[in-house]
């Protein structure tokens, strides 16, 4: 679609519908996260170190399979359309999440989390569909707005999940998650409109899916690598956040509820800041917003490993949402502006692969660092990784800082 066709197309309606779909998906994905480590602990008489290591494996299993499968699904999406990928992902994960509510063995849970990776891809395909049909001048704001749908769900999901686990059971929460994903499937099926026309190549010419052949190959690779490092840092926190909260609360009180609130806090500032930073990036350059996000994240992560109060942790987690609002949407915007339109899903799927690798390595890193040292070391390690990533961007992607990218 050229820019004129995008302006006349249903991009506003799709953005509205997919905002709500990603909101529901965000609730579904995030409501189990605060107590997944606690769920692991119910499946055996494990030591503290074993729980953290098994938790890392549970979080990382999905990421490993997603990293392998995503480019294959992305290539298919560019040929057949993104809507069919939304349907595949939502319905498949609904089945897997339902099954998770019935397992009693940690290795079966790890297996189901791996199978979940086969059906992953709802969010990046929603992003690719919006990116492919939105006018370029509004892509940053549109992707920033779409991000608020997912992060709004991520905000409410842990609170809902923590409350459900406290009032009913962890197992029931998995069943509710499956129901939410079925709702997402039905909404995507009935309400999303895709004007998809495959690119026709002349003669026997075939689409070149070699990323190294792209005009901005180095920039695209560095952006994907940055996605991996950011997600590695973020997800290194996931396996230990509820355990860290439990330690800060001295093993007293409603740990699942407080852990859910702490996990949800970054979503508040993300919702507020993502559209504003997206519009600022459209007007003044996405690169500037991206670099700001790194510096702010580094400053916010370091003290999280030094505090002794759960409420101070909550404030710092709230501030992390500001950096998240600057990092992921702006990377997606830069990928959109520097990728061929007929490879949008493929590029976004590769970006999801790198994000999934970050999920996997982050989960393993967080679990093992917490097991060997302590929970606070995970936050300090994350800050150092983001500092390395900032230096990498500054040194090897000068177009991000030297021009309006």
Q: Is residue 250 part of a domain?
A: yes
Buried b (16+ CB within 10 A) or exposed e, 246-266: bbbeeeeeebbbbbbbbbbbb
* 222-226: long-range contacts, CB 8 A cutoff, minimum separation 24: 222/392, 222/393, 222/396, 222/397, 223/331, 223/334, 223/335, 223/351, 223/397, 224/335, 224/350, 224/351, 224/353, 224/354, 225/354, 225/389, 225/392, 226/327, 226/331, 226/389, 226/392, 226/393
Task: Share the mean pLDDT of the chain.
Answer: 81
Q: What is the pLDDT of residues 302-335, one digit of tens each?
A: 888 787 778 888 888 889 888 888 888 888 888 8
82 vs 22, which has greater pLDDT?
22
CATH number at residue 221: 1.20.1250.20
Question: What are the helix (H) ranges across 308-404?
Answer: 310-337, 344-372, 375-396, 398-402
pTM of the predicted model, to two decimals? Answer: 0.68
Q: Is a pLDDT exceeding 70 seen at residue 205?
A: no
Helices (H) and strands (E) in the chain, counts: 17, 0
Q: Is a pLDDT exceeding 90 seen at residue 353?
A: no
What pLDDT sits at residue 354? 87
Q: Is a pLDDT exceeding 80 seen at residue 208?
A: no
Q: Is residue 207 part of a domain?
A: no
What pLDDT sits at residue 369? 82
Q: Which residue in the block uniquely carries the two structure tokens 């580094």?
A: 298
Q: What is the pLDDT of residues 156-198, one digit of tens each?
A: 787 788 787 778 788 888 888 899 899 889 988 988 887 766 6
Q: Is a pLDDT exceeding 90 seen at residue 28?
A: no
pLDDT band, very low/low/confident/very high, at 72 (cuts 50, 70, 90): confident
Token readout for 47 is 């030591």
Contact 159, 260 (CB under 8 A): yes
Q: Is residue 398 part of a domain?
A: yes
Total domains present in the chain: 1
pLDDT band, very low/low/confident/very high, at 143 (cuts 50, 70, 90): confident
Q: Is residue 8 part of a domain?
A: yes
What pLDDT sits at residue 206? 58
Q: How far apart are CA 146 and CA 155, in angstroms?
A: 14
Q: Is a pLDDT exceeding 90 seen at residue 10?
A: no
Q: Is a pLDDT exceeding 80 seen at residue 154?
A: no
Enumerate residues 6+ apart whose C-beta is below 8 A from 212. Answer: none
What pLDDT sits at residue 108? 92
Q: Nearest-CA neighbor of 123 among 315, 351, 283, 290?
A: 351
What pLDDT sits at residue 198? 63
Across 93-105, average pLDDT: 91
Across 228-247, average pLDDT: 80
What pLDDT sits at residue 209? 63
What pLDDT sits at residue 338? 79
Q: How far apart are CA 30 and CA 109, in angstroms?
A: 17
What pLDDT sits at residue 239? 67
Identify the H or E element spanning 35.
Answer: helix 33-41
What pLDDT sits at residue 294? 92
pLDDT band, very low/low/confident/very high, at 217 (cuts 50, 70, 90): confident
Q: How far apart are CA 97 and CA 184, in angstroms?
A: 14
Q: Is residue 298 part of a domain?
A: yes
What pLDDT sits at residue 201? 53
Across 218-242, average pLDDT: 84
Q: Is residue 219 part of a domain?
A: yes
What pLDDT sits at residue 141? 76
Q: How far apart are CA 17 and CA 115, in angstroms?
A: 27
> What does the DSSP 8-state code read for residue 251?
T
Across 258-264, average pLDDT: 76
**Domain that residue 250 falls in:** 3-193+212-402
Q: Is residue 202 part of a domain?
A: no
Least confident of 173-187, 192-206, 374-388: 192-206
Enumerate residues 6+ apart whose C-beta is below 8 A from 74. Answer: 121, 124, 128, 345, 346, 347, 348, 349, 350, 352
Q: Is residue 201 part of a domain?
A: no
Q: Is a pLDDT exceeding 70 seen at residue 125?
A: yes
pLDDT band, very low/low/confident/very high, at 152 (cuts 50, 70, 90): confident
Q: Is a pLDDT exceeding 60 seen at residue 75?
A: yes
What pLDDT sits at residue 385? 92
Across 37-61, average pLDDT: 79
Token readout for 64 is 């490993």
Q: For the chain, how far is it from start to end, CA to CA, in angstroms?
A: 22
Across 122-144, average pLDDT: 79
302 vs 337, which has greater pLDDT?
302
């Amino acid at each position: 679609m050229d820019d004129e066709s995008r302006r006349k197309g249903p991009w506003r309606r799709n953005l509205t519908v997919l905002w709500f779909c990603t909101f529901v998906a965000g609730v579904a994905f995030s409501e189990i996260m605060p107590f997944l480590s606690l769920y692991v602990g119910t499946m055996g008489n494990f030591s503290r170190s074993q729980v953290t290591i098994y938790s890392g494996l549970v979080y990382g299993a999905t990421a490993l399979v997603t990293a392998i499968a995503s480019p294959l699904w992305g290539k298919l999406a560019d040929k057949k359309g993104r809507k069919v990928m939304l349907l595949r992902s939502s319905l498949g994960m609904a089945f897997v999440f339902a099954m998770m509510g019935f397992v009693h063995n940690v290795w079966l849970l790890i297996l189901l989390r791996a199978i979940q990776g086969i059906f992953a891809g709802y969010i990046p395909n929603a992003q690719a569909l919006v990116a492919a049909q939105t006018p370029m001048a509004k892509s940053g704001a549109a992707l920033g707005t779409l991000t608020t749908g997912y992060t709004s769900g991520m905000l409410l999901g842990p609170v809902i999940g923590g409350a459900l686990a406290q009032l009913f059971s962890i197992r029931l929460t998995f069943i509710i998650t499956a129901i939410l994903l079925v709702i997402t499937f039905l909404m995507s099926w009935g309400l999303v409109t895709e004007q998809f026309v495959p690119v026709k190549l002349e003669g026997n010419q075939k689409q070149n899916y070699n990323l190294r052949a792209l005009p901005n190959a180095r920039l695209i690779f560095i952006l994907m690598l940055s996605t991996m490092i950011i997600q590695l840092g973020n997800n290194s926190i996931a396996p230990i956040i509820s355990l860290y909260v439990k330690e800060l609360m001295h093993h007293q009180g409603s740990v699942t509820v407080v852990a859910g609130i702490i996990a949800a806090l970054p979503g508040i500032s993300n919702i507020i800041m993502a559209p504003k930073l997206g519009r600022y990036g459209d007007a003044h350059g996405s690169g500037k917003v991206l670099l700001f996000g790194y510096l702010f994240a580094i400053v916010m992560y370091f003290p999280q490993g030094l505090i002794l109060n759960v409420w101070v942790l909550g404030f710092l987690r709230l501030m992390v949402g500001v950096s998240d609002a600057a990092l992921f949407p702006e990377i997606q915007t830069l990928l959109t502006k520097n990728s061929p339109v007929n490879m949008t899903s493929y590029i976004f799927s590769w970006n999801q692969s790198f994000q999934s690798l970050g999920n996997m390595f982050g989960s393993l890193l967080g679990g093992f660092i917490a097991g060997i040292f302590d929970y606070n070391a995970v936050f300090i390690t994350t800050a150092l990784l983001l500092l390395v990533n900032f230096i990498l961007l500054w040194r090897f992607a000068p177009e991000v800082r030297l021009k309006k990218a």
